[in-house]
Structure 1
């Protein structure tokens, strides 16, 4: 990378139409590129939830979970409220980091993670809490078993090692373990 290469982030959002355009969570995609080369080399998908406004986010995510299968079960109660420990923080906004992906050339350099945190900070307002689940993204079909869920420790071990490394890396960014390997960070 040369001195004139600067990282840039472009945002795209998907809002779900309803009576007030606010009843469902909206998803944002932050795309990463450099000023010298406008080819996108990575993305972060961020779901925005306004506590008390988005009706029962847990129910919404059960219908359309994306990659957020664990996070909603950990941070929302059955009726869509915040679990007590998170409610104590009184967040005005939750930014759920659904995924971070960078191309092979950029993988392992921490660039995707730092840019994802920068993207979260740009979307934050006062009182925002960011939430993530540090784990590798798996490309498998709905009927194929996830290697992390395998009973065979030799199949599971690489995923467990990757999770441990990712957890430490997210901790260096300021995230702290919340519950069931879900991490949170107050942004503003």
Structure 2
């Protein structure tokens, strides 16, 4: 029994060194097998090789597929980078437009404040002139009625012309002073 085990071990070691086709042609005792068995074993060997070839092409196909997907993703990345650059340029332009608009808004606000101040100043001047005109009107009415009463008391009609001329010159002087303000 020990001898058989040793022989079988030696045959196994020898068979590990041989190719599947060489093994398929031998029987377990070292002799040649019958042709049907040999062809069946040859077909099994070929099928095994085909499966190994298919298995080796399967990773190649997967690698090619993955490479194609990587290239597609790289293309999408480039497209997104271009899009990002374009959007950044648009943002920069909009930022500049926003700064310009804010500057123009501030200028318009300043001009508006100046115009409001000038309007307020003109309003104060108008109020002062209205008070002056009311004062003048009061004076003029008083002077007119006083003059009318005085003229009625003057016995000589020629003296009335002198008094009227004096009143007119006072009116002209006062009006000129009012216009200069």
Bin of the TM-score, shorter chain as denominator length: under 0.3
TM normalised by structure 2 equals 0.18
More strand by share: 1
TM normalised by structure 1 equals 0.18
Rg larger for: 2
Q: Larger relative contact order (C-alpha < 8 A, sep ≥ 6)?
A: 1
More helix by share: 2
